[in-house]
């Protein structure tokens, strides 16, 4: 079996030859060493390792050194490297030729980022005990961390030479050669490993990697064939070969080998995905789509892989050429993975982008039943509620979302809007005022809050607050169309600041000359200013596209003021037939054939 490299950070006290367990001696008192003293000990570390064996320690010295060592190891485990080094360096001062002490000092320095001292003490440890693999591994790690790959490779080579049964580290050595792009050396090392361990998957895969870097495709393929021959019932080796053919534009071979994998495992999704990719390269769209659908039908294709593929479709939407395929694959994902919230989330995204908004909202809600922690999904639900003008749903969903995300300003905005639309103006104001305080760094949202507050305060007949809210909205965003339109209209209804109202409404109409709502607002401002001819012109333009009862009623009012009483009554009758939206005075106008304001 291959040994595990770099398993050194959790090396315990019990593995240290010659030292007791943590309860084997009294704890040493803290020892404060100056930076100069620590540096001096570090410089001496390499020299001490080369000296002849030190004198025998007295029993007291041995016990003191052991206690300090144990304390140092404990602090390494607690990640308090300053205290660890204080204890370990004191142990080193007593017994500098103990390999374990040098090793743990090196480890503490590595973990605290002091690579220079880590390297010195690690080298000392390997010289003091040339048969301990972990000492070499630590040294190699320090060297590799500093991108000293030549030194690290030499350390591994020495490890393999000096330590018995260390052939498993040939793989690490090969990786280091690969990191330096020393491909011949890496290949030679892998050949050495193959002689020692025989046919090993990792050796063949790494050899393939090297051969492909060397543009030796035939040799890489030959390694793949060796794997298949050694493991004739393992589809994964066949699939790896098929993928290599596909990646190197050997498309007929890729198809042949992928189909070979399907003979071993008839519903293998990876084989279908390889075939789909190849058919797509060959511009065989129908065949590619069929293979993808078969892959998606398999629970063995991981949900994350399916989501990744669906995200690729999302980037193409909306697109009539792929809309239905994306919807079908999303539906399959939900069916095959009915308890995965992410399946419903991505399906909802696809339904949204293909203009299936109501279905999308229902799908998002299913995702939230499985995992209600994703704010983005709540946001999508709320946006769709607003777009569909379903204020009851908007209120329910914003209330639920706010229980989880009370600091999200956007949720308070839509919650306030829902209350206002349901004529619960006080609740709307409360939500909007609270949410407004949460807005940071989003001037557009802040302006929208103030616009909605302007509407709500107007309905509460708190006109000073309404005007102030609109002014705040326009101070933040002078081009806020909703604020300009609503503010100017309500000023005209009240018959105040008509010049200001005309200026604002005219600005909106100039930007949106064909919008019937904005034309109606501008016309009503002109009406209030007794410019009936101008009002008529703009209302007639609005009525080319609008069937709104209020707009029709306004037109009748203008005609009445222009002396065209019969036409005015006819327009009022038409407004009555248009449905809700007309004023409460309309019935009285029709009864008396007279204008009331």
CA 520 – CA 543 distance, rounded (Å)? 9
User: What does 299-362 look like in DSSP terms, one character per residue?
Assistant: TTS-HHHHHHHHHHHHTT-S-TTTHHHHHHHHHHHHHH-TT-HHHHHHHHHHHHHTT-HHHHHH
Tell me the torsion sign for CA atoms 109, 114, 120, 123. positive
395 — pLDDT class (breaks 50, 70, 90): very high
What pLDDT score was predicted for residue 538? 97
Contacts of 497 (CB under 8 A, 6+ apart): 491
35 — pLDDT class (breaks 50, 70, 90): low
Instruction: Choose between 437 and 52: higher pLDDT.
Output: 437
Question: Residue 517, SS3?
Answer: helix
For the chain, give the mean pLDDT: 88
Q: Which residue has the tokens 């260390």?
A: 166
pLDDT at 9 over 80: no
What pLDDT score was predicted for residue 47? 47
What pLDDT score was predicted for residue 11? 25
What pLDDT score was predicted for residue 424? 97
244 — pLDDT class (breaks 50, 70, 90): confident
pLDDT at 226 over 90: no
Name the most confidently modeled range: 46-50, 68-72, 213-217: 68-72
Burial of 51 (C-beta count, 10 Å sphere; 0-12/13-18/19+): exposed
69-93 pLDDT tens trace: 999 999 999 999 999 999 999 999 9
Q: What is the mean pLDDT of residues 371-389?
A: 96
pLDDT at 3 over 70: no
What pLDDT score was predicted for residue 495? 95
Q: Which region among 136-140, 262-266, 472-476 has the lowest average model confidence (pLDDT)?
A: 262-266
CA 41 – CA 324 distance, rounded (Å)? 72
What's the half-sphere exposure (Cβ side, CA atoms, 13 Å) at 433? 11
What's the half-sphere exposure (Cβ side, CA atoms, 13 Å) at 527? 29
Residue 406 token pair = 């009370």
pLDDT at 27 over 80: no
Buried b (16+ CB within 10 A) or exposed e, 278-313: bbeeeeeeebbbebbebbbbbeebebeebbebbeeb
Q: What is the mean pLDDT of residues 398-421?
A: 97
Residue 508 token pair = 């909106």
CA 586 – CA 556 distance, rounded (Å)? 10
CA 441 – CA 381 distance, rounded (Å)? 24
Residue 55 CB coordination number (10 Å)? 7
493 — pLDDT class (breaks 50, 70, 90): very high
Q: What is the mean pLDDT of residues 292-313?
A: 95
pLDDT at 4 over 90: no
Q: Any idea of the CA torsion for 441, 442, 447, 450, to the nearest 10 degrees?
A: -70
- Find out whether 155 and 173 touch, Cβ atoms under 8 Å: no
Residue 301 token pair = 């294709």
What pLDDT score was predicted for residue 40? 54
98-135 pLDDT tens trace: 999 999 999 999 999 999 999 999 999 999 999 999 99
% residues pLDDT > 90 (the chain): 73
Residue 439 token pair = 């807005």
pLDDT at 23 over 50: no
Residue 583 token pair = 């004023």
pLDDT at 555 over 80: yes
Q: What is the mean pLDDT of residues 342-348?
A: 98
432-472 pLDDT tens trace: 999 999 999 999 999 999 999 999 999 999 999 999 999 99
- Find out whether 208 and 192 touch, Cβ atoms under 8 Å: no
CA 546 – CA 595 distance, rounded (Å)? 22
How far is the CA of 488 from the CAs of 425, 493, 512, 575, 581, in angstroms? 20, 9, 15, 23, 19
CA 429 – CA 417 distance, rounded (Å)? 9
What pLDDT score was predicted for residue 46? 43
pLDDT at 19 over 60: no
Residue 29 token pair = 């008192």
Instruction: Choose between 204 and 135: higher pLDDT.
Output: 135
Give the phi and the psi of residue 500 in degrees, each rounded to 5: -65, -40
pLDDT at 42 over 60: no
1 — pLDDT class (breaks 50, 70, 90): very low
pLDDT at 382 over 90: yes
pLDDT at 431 over 80: yes
pLDDT at 8 over 90: no
pLDDT at 285 over 60: yes
How far is the CA of 59 from the CAs of 66, 168, 211, 447, in angstroms? 11, 40, 60, 80
What pLDDT score was predicted for residue 225? 85
CA 169 – CA 158 distance, rounded (Å)? 11
- Find out whether 541 and 554 touch, Cβ atoms under 8 Å: no
How far is the CA of 514 from the CAs of 85, 236, 294, 356, in angstroms? 78, 63, 50, 28
What pLDDT score was predicted for residue 43? 52
494-518 pLDDT tens trace: 999 999 999 999 999 999 999 999 9
% residues pLDDT > 70 (the chain): 91
pLDDT at 31 over 50: no
């Amino acid at each position: 079996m291959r040994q595990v490299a770099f398993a050194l950070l959790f090396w315990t006290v019990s593995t240290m030859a010659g030292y007791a367990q943590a309860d084997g001696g009294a704890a040493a008192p803290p020892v404060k060493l100056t930076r100069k003293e620590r540096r001096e000990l570090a410089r001496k570390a390499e020299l001490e390792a080369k000296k002849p064996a030190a004198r025998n320690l007295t029993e007291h010295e041995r016990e003191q050194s052991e206690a300090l060592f144990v304390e140092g190891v404990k602090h390494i485990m607690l990640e308090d490297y300053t205290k660890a080094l204080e204890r370990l360096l004191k142990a080193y001062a007593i017994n500098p030729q103990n390999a374990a002490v040098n090793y743990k000092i090196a480890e503490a320095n590595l973990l605290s980022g002091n690579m220079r001292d880590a390297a010195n003490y690690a080298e000392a440890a390997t010289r003091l005990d040339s048969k301990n693999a972990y000492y070499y591994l630590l040294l190699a790690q320090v060297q590799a961390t500093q991108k000293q790959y030549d030194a690290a490779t030499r350390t591994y080579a020495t490890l393999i030479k000096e330590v018995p049964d260390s052939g498993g580290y040939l793989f690490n050595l090969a990786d280091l050669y690969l990191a330096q792009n020393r491909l011949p050396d890496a290949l030679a090392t892998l050949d050495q490993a193959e002689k020692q361990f025989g046919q090993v998957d990792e050796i063949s895969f790494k050899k393939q990697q090297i051969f492909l870097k060397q543009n030796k495709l035939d040799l890489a393929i030959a390694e793949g064939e060796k794997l298949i021959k050694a493991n004739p019932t393992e589809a994964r080796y066949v699939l790896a070969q098929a993928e290599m053919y596909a990646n190197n534009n050997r498309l007929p071979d890729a198809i042949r080998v992928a189909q070979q994998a399907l003979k071993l495992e008839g519903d293998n999704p990876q084989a279908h995905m390889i075939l789909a990719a190849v058919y797509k390269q060959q511009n065989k769209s129908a065949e590619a789509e069929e293979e993808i659908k078969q892959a998606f039908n398999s629970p063995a294709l991981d949900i994350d892989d399916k989501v990744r593929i669906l995200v690729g479709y999302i980037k193409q939407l909306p697109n009539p050429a792929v809309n239905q395929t994306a919807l079908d694959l999303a539906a399959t994902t939900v069916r095959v993975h009915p308890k995965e919230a992410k399946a419903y989330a991505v399906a909802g995204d696809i339904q949204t982008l293909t203009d299936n908004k109501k279905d999308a909202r229902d799908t998002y809600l299913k995702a939230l039943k499985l995992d209600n922690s994703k704010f983005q999904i709540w946001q999508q639900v709320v946006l769709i509620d607003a777009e569909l003008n379903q204020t009851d749903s908007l209120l329910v969903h914003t209330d639920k979302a706010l229980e989880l995300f009370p600091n999200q300003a956007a949720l308070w905005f839509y919650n306030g809007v829902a209350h206002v639309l349901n004529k619960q103006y006080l609740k709307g104001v409360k939500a909007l005022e609270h949410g407004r305080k949460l807005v940071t760094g989003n001037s557009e949202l802040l302006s929208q809050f103030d616009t909605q507050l302007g509407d709500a305060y107007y309905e509460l007949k708190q006109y000073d607050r309404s005007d102030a809210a609109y002014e705040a909205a326009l101070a933040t965003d002078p081009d806020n169309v909703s604020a300009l339109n609503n503010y100017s209209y309500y000023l005209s209804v009240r018959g105040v600041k008509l010049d200001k109202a005309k200026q604002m409404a005219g600005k909106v109409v100039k930007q949106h000359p064909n919008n019937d709502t904005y034309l109606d607002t501008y016309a009503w401002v002109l009406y209030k200013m007794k410019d009936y001819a101008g009002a008529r012109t703009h209302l007639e333009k609005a009525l080319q596209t609008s069937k709104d009862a209020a707009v029709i009623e306004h037109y009748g009012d203008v005609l009445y003021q222009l002396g065209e009483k019969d036409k005015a009554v006819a327009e009022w009758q038409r407004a009555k037939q248009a449905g809700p939206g007309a004023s409460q005075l309309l019935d009285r106008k029709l009864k008396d054939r007279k204008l009331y304001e």
